[in-house]
Homo-oligomer: A and B are copies of this chain.
């Protein structure tokens, strides 16, 4: 599945996540993402633009309609993740 390979890269998922909340300039996006290095940020943005998921508009980077559709899929994931996180704490996982 192609999409998984694309999303399964550092920052890609996070970028979509951030952009789904609000458009942002290159620099703003950086600081929102723990000051990810501009090298990688630009790499990912290129890919995402190439895939028609992200676009660079007047107000900075933004999701395309397709990008929004995809990000929407993760919105439901958000709710689920919160419950999941709670369960994790309760069961007190000791890992690694």
Contact = CB atoms under 8 A, between A and B. Distances in A.
A7 interface: yes
How many copies are assembled?
A: 2
Contact of A4 (B17, B46, B94): B17
B14 A4 contact: yes
A76 interface: yes
A73 B70 contact: no
B46 A17 contact: no
A48 to B, nearest CB: 9
B88 A52 contact: yes
Given A13-B8, A66-B84, A93 B2 contact: no
A70 B84 contact: yes
16 contacts: A1-B17, A1-B78, A4-B17, A4-B74, A5-B14, A7-B13, A8-B8, A47-B95, A47-B96, A50-B93, A51-B88, A52-B87, A52-B91, A66-B84, A69-B80, A73-B73
